[in-house]
A and B are shown apart, each in its own frame.
Chain A
Amino acid sequence: MTTLSDGVLDFSTRRTGAMMLRYWYLLRSSWPRLLDLVYWPTVQMITWGFLQFYIMQNAGFFAKAGGTFIGAVLLWDILFRGQLGFSISFMEEMWARNIGNLMMSPLRPFEFISALMVMSIVRLAIGTVPVTFLAIAFFGFNLYGLGLALVAFFLNLMLTAWAVGIFVSGLVLRNGLGAENLAWSIMFLFMPLTCVYYPVSTLPAWLQPVSWALPPTYVFEGMRALLIEHTFRPDLMLHALALNVVFFAAGVFGFLKLLQSARRHGSLIQAGE
């Protein structure tokens, strides 16, 4: 049974702001960290952009489906970098051996999580916004041309990214930095299953229900519907949102259970390898 500590649900914007300030100081202090945020999204977008350019010149269908690859790359980056931005900010505390200081301070888990969520958006913005402008300059693909649909895509992808990031942070808190690799790799499990670059119908029939159980699948299908058929599918976004509520709640519940387990097993005292 999970019993919540007294006051665990209290929320202070001052304490949340303190943690955001801490990560902002850290980002500001290191230009390689900032460069790293932009580097991979740029490389990936350029590679896939040229691939799409080549295919469009040689296949009639893809000539009509302009931008699906670059769009998929950019939306995938929101999902992947959103989770990574959350997890890396969390792991900064483990690497700095600062988690003990935080856990014995009045900082509440939900304040910590909120600060990490905001910082994942900040990191994502630093890394992805310049790349979206490069996509316009290099390939004439304007992500912002998706309009309000982009807001729905973004919201759903970020909710999944946070849910996964929160759960993985719990695993690292409970198991130490031995679980660090999960933070880097777990989202790649989503890549084939959520059908980032191809429609769900490409998957074998037995795997399709698994794909439809994952919220990002609806976003990528929705993006293809918009770019190929020029139709916005609100039904897909609502499905994604409903699933995201479940995913997010499961992520938070998992984090709290893992934190509780860390207290039981003494992992917070030796938060390291």
Chain B
Amino acid sequence: MHAPAPPIAIERLVKIYKTIPAVDGISFTLTPGSVTGLLGGNGAGKTTTIASIMGLTTPTSGRVTVLGAEMPRQRYRVLHRMNFESPYVAMPMRLTIRQNLTVFGMLYGVPDLAQRIKQLGEELDLTDLLDRQTGKLSDGQKTRVALAKGLINAPELLLLDEPTASLDPDTADWVRGHLERYRRERNATMLIASHNMAEVERLCDRVIIMKRGHIEDDDTPAKLLARYGRRTLEEVFLDVARGRGIEREAMQ
């Protein structure tokens, strides 16, 4: 019997826009049910990596497979099993939450859609807002709607881009708690691009740090902290971003 395909497997991925390499030969594989943080400064290549995983860009070279399907060529085999949430990709503002979720639910082929929307409304505290226009919601409410859209098909693989950006600490904590629960209940695999180090420390069991299109480091949060001799991931991130990682390692 074959072992199930890894949720994400990237082999020597290179993506060059005109002459500028956005991603330069990265490789990593995610195991089912893992939560991985993808860290890096602006221009590190996180967005291009996630876009390659979703089949939104064609690799210049290398290979991206998602749930066993090669992206972007075989994306339609697996797109219904994955989803994406980002506060930077908007939902149609004039449609109500219920209308938006209905449209996306139909696109993803969700069975018993009305029940699923009701369930998400309860889980994400949106029940009273379901018939309100999405554009009239607060930032925190919009983020929860985006999360509802990301979970509409109960995906096995969830890609998240700054899932708690622009949220107050209370709502952000609530969203993180929901993601933890979702992962536990569904054994879902998550890849989270984030600049919030506390969030990454809390949610992720693995951290990949990117810089200028390369993977600079890749380990569990605990091992990274130990290796860099730091108390927080933020300090580790700064060490890597400012090129101090290798020096410290050498010193130690």
Task: Give A contacts to B, CB under 8 Å.
Answer: 3, 5-8, 10, 12, 14-15, 17-19, 21-22, 25-26, 29-30, 92, 96-98, 100-108, 260, 263-266, 268-269
- B47, B72, B93, B106, most chain A CB atoms within 10 A: B106
A-B CB pair tally, cutoff 8 Å: 110
B57 touches A264 (CB 8 A): yes
Q: Which of B35-60 contact A (CB under 8 A)?
A: 47-48, 51, 54-58
Complex interface: chain A residues within 8 A of B102 (CB): 18, 21
- The SS class assigned to the B binding surface is mixed
Closest to A29 in B: B94
Which of B92, B99, B149 is most buried by chain A, counting CB atoms within 10 A of its CB? B92
B3 CB within 8 Å of chain A: no
Residues of A close to B80: CB separation below 8 A: 106
Known: A6-B76, A8-B76, A269-B47. A22 touches B95 (CB 8 A): yes
Minimum C-beta distance from B33 to chain A (A): 22
Pairs A–B under 8 Å by Cβ, sample size 27: A3-B73, A7-B77, A10-B76, A18-B104, A18-B106, A21-B99, A21-B102, A22-B92, A22-B103, A25-B94, A25-B99, A26-B92, A26-B95, A29-B94, A96-B92, A97-B90, A98-B89, A98-B92, A100-B89, A101-B91, A102-B107, A104-B56, A106-B108, A263-B56, A263-B72, A266-B15, A266-B56
Min CB distance, A266 to chain B, in Å?
Answer: 5
Give the CA-CA distance A265 to B60 in the complex, in Å. 10
Residues of chain A within 8 A of B109, CB atoms compared: 12, 14-15, 106
| Known contacts A25-B99, A104-B54, A105-B108; is-contact A5 B76 (Cβ 8 Å) | yes
Query: Which residues in window 54-82 of B have CB below 8 A to A?
Result: 54-58, 72-77, 79-80
Other A-B pairs, 7, CB within 8 Å; known A104-B54, A105-B107: A5-B74, A5-B75, A6-B73, A21-B103, A26-B94, A101-B91, A265-B17
Neighbouring B residues of A15 by C-beta, 8 Å: 106-107, 109
- B237 contacts A by Cβ under 8 Å: no
Q: Which of B58, B89, B133 contacts A97 (CB 8 A)?
A: B89
Q: State how many angstroms separate the Cβ of A47 from the closest Cβ of chain B.
A: 32
Q: How far is the CA of A263 from the CA of B140 in the complex (A)?
A: 31
Q: How far apart sit A98 and B89, CA to CA, in the bound complex (Å)?
A: 6
Q: How far is the CB of A211 from chain B (nearest CB, A)?
A: 40
Chain B residues near A92: list those with CB within 8 A: 92
Residues of A within 8 A of B22 (CB): 266
Report if B228 contacts A (CB, 8 A). Answer: no
> Lowest 5 A-B CB distances belong to which pairs?
A7-B76, A18-B106, A97-B90, A100-B89, A22-B103
State whether A101 and B149 are in contact (beta carbons under 8 Å apart), knowing that A5-B75, A15-B106, A106-B80 are contacts in the complex: yes
Residue of A nearest to B56 (CB): A268
Docked pose: A268 CA to B15 CA in angstroms: 14
Residues A266 and B48 in contact in the complex (CB < 8 Å), given A97-B89, A98-B92: yes
CB–CB B104/A14 < 8 A? no
The closest CB in chain A to the CB of B102 belongs to A21
